[in-house]
Amino acid sequence: MADGKIYITITDEPVGGTTPKPDTPTPKPDSNNENKNSLFGDFAKHQFFNFVESQAKQFISYSIGNIGNFTGNYQTQRQIQETLKIGNMAKNIGMAALSGAMTFGLPGALIAGGIAIASTAINLIYEDHSLTVQTKQQNREIAMMRQLSGLDGLTNGSRWGA
């Protein structure tokens, strides 16, 4: 072949002959179908992790809520619940500030954080007021029961007070 001519060979075999020719043409993958499968898989993972997270939170909440029932130590239960409540408030304020910062920078962080702090303060005031009203109502009910049962010796002259 060194005679200076160019020879062209036409064949149905691939160059080198090492790769077998497929009998049927391979279909092109349906990218739309693959996208749907990928989105469904991502959605299923997201739902599964949300389910696991919610169940873990529910288990922890149940366990903490029953410390007093299981051990008789209601003070520790109350302290743990208050600590978690404060932690959740701080997390909510921080997440609001972060969201504001990601959207509008420092001014957004200050505005969103301020609104979250104001909202938290208002909720605490409502909670304190509700607790005060509930305590006063219980005290009135106790006083009425004392009157009806004759245990209020100081004001009704019963023998229990003497």
Q: What is the pLDDT of residues 22-45, one digit of tens each?
A: 565 555 555 667 777 788 888 889
Strand ranges (E), 59-131? none
Quickly state the pLDDT bin for 18 (edges 50, 70, 90). Answer: low
Say if residue 21's pLDDT is above 60: no
Q: For residue 98, how many other CB atoms are within 10 A of its CB?
A: 14
The predicted-structure confidence for 69-126, as pLDDT tens digits, reads as follows 888 889 999 999 999 999 999 999 999 999 999 999 999 999 999 999 999 999 999 9
Residue 119, C-beta contacts closer than 8 angstroms, at least 6 positions apart: none
Q: What is the pTM of this model?
A: 0.56
Task: Please name which of 155, 134, 89 lies closest in space to residue 116, comparing C-alpha atoms.
Answer: 89
Check residue 151 and report its DSSP letter. Answer: -
Q: How many angstroms from the chain centroid is the CA of residue 96?
A: 14
Cα separation of the two ends of the chain? 134
Domain boundaries, the chain: 47-151
